[in-house]
Structure 1
Amino acid sequence: MPPLALKNTQKGLVLLISLIVLVVMTLAAIALVRSMIASNQIANNLALRQGTTAAADVALEKARFWLVDRSIQAPAELNNASDKNGYSPKNTITGINGSELPMTITPIDGNKWRANVPWVYANPNKGNAPLSGADEDKAVNSSGYKAAYFIQRSCASAGQKTPNRSACDIQKMSPNEPEANSEYQMIYKVTVRIEGPKDTVSFYQATLF
């Protein structure tokens, strides 16, 4: 009988290389999963932002429509408050203790409205008439967002105002014209609060004149 061939002694090198490759593949898989999670979070945040922006655009347009309509059809109505339309003829508001709180910067407090702000909800469907707090459920659009807004005239007090001579913030319409020939427009500020999915709360402001 021929002599038996000696078996090769296992050194364990293949096992070591396999373990190293397995560790590298595991780390690569973990990095890929984390990258996908981060990408999904970014995409989700962008979608939420686009949703709030779209809802804010609708609310701002409806507020602008009411403001322009009143300035043409019944400008005297803009001299007084209209709670049902979310409008104030001044940039101050009565505080809890009866004092006047300055509102020239913003009518919001953190992620909420300040006390006594007569905000209204924008109707997400056809029609520009705002919704009251009792109709809050009707204010939710098809994407799950609802918008509330508040319009302020940039004046220290209510009543009839002449833009050229009033305690109001005004916009000069012809910057290059001499003062005697200049025309001014009253400035209005619209603040919108958006509530959406995943407890999303955003604020937007626009200045109109």
Structure 2
Amino acid sequence: MTKQSLPKASRQRGVVLLFCLIVLVVLLSGGVAVVRSMNSSLFSAGNLAFKRDLVNRGELAASTVLTQFKSGALATVADTYTNMPARNYSAVQLVANDRGIPLVLLKTGATPTGKNVAGADFSPTSADIKDDDAGVTIRYVIDRLCSATGEPTITTTNTPPASAGADVHCVSVPSSTDLIGGDARRAGKDLGNALALVYRLTVRVSGPRDTQVFLQSSFTNPLE
């Protein structure tokens, strides 16, 4: 009787299992990266939406200020010659940072204080515009781009000096009918209207997720 030898069992080295584990790790890492990327995109989109909403809400300050100039405490030109902290109005240009934001608007607290270009303190006291349900707070300041309080005596398009002198220098918008040349016979026709002074409105809108937006615009008084 012949004895038949059985084939030896082959060793299982587990190479396929090792490759499968490596592929699973790569797929898991890719999945985590995709999820994190989606979360970052959603977070950025949410912040952009908050920012756009805050920009739109900043129009409330502009509407309030224009009402003050049309029919409120700043409705006459003489009213704009002096400071009105209760209306967040400074008759002198406020000191600003390199981006043009008045320093007083960068401060916190109910009654912040900042300097104007004449070196005097200015503290706006008007209440903030708030929407507690939305978590939005709007604070603004208005400053006349002049070197001192009072009626302007010399008007120039240059930046007001750092210190006030005998004259009140102001930034103004040149009129299209200003006298630019000619002779004395046309003086009565070429002289334009009074130069329109420039006012600056700066708004800070704070919202959810520590979102903060600064808005700024300049305008002239339609009564001037």
TM norm. shorter chain > 0.5: yes
Is 2:206 aligned against 1:195? Answer: yes
**Percent of residue pairs identical:** 26
Alignment length (residue pairs): 183
- What is the distance in 2 between the residues matched to 1:207 and 1:181? 25
Q: Which residue pairs with 2:142 in the alignment?
A: 151
Answer 1 or 2: which has greater helix percent: 1
Letter in 2 for 1:76: A
Task: Describe the SS at the equivalent of 2:58.
Answer: helix
Q: Which residue pairs with 2:216 in the alignment?
A: 205
Aligned with 1:68 (options 52, 67, 70): 70
Is 2:87 aligned against 1:81? Answer: no
- What is the distance in 1 between the residues matched to 2:145 and 2:105? 22
Q: Which residue pairs with 2:51 in the alignment?
A: 49
What CA RMSD, in Å, does the superposition of the two structures yield over aligned residues?
3.2
Give the alignment of 1:158-197 within 5 angstroms: 158-161=149-152, 167-174=169-176, 178-179=179-180, 180-183=190-193, 184-197=195-208
Give, in angstroms, the shift of residue 60 of structure 1. 1.9
Is 2:103 aligned against 1:108? Answer: yes
Q: Deviations over 1:92-150 (max 9, x none)?
A: 5xxxxxxxxx5695422583254333153454xxxxxxxxxxxxxxx235421111111
Q: Give the TM-score normalised by structure 2.
A: 0.67
Q: Which residue pairs with 1:127 in the alignment?
A: none
- What is the distance in 2 between the residues matched to 1:161 and 1:108? 25
Q: Which has the larger radius of gyration?
A: 2
- What is the distance in 2 between the residues matched to 1:141 and 1:157? 38
Give, in angstroms, the shift of residue 208 of structure 1. 0.7
Give, in angstroms, the shift of residue 55 of structure 1. 2.3
Unaligned runs of 5+ in 1: 93-101, 124-138
- What is the distance in 2 between the residues matched to 1:207 and 1:145? 24
Contact 1:111 1:201 in 2 (8 A): no
Change over 3 Å in CA distance of 1:181–1:8 after alignment to 2: farther
Q: Deviations over 1:32-72 (max 9, x none)?
A: 12201211221122123113212222212221232233599
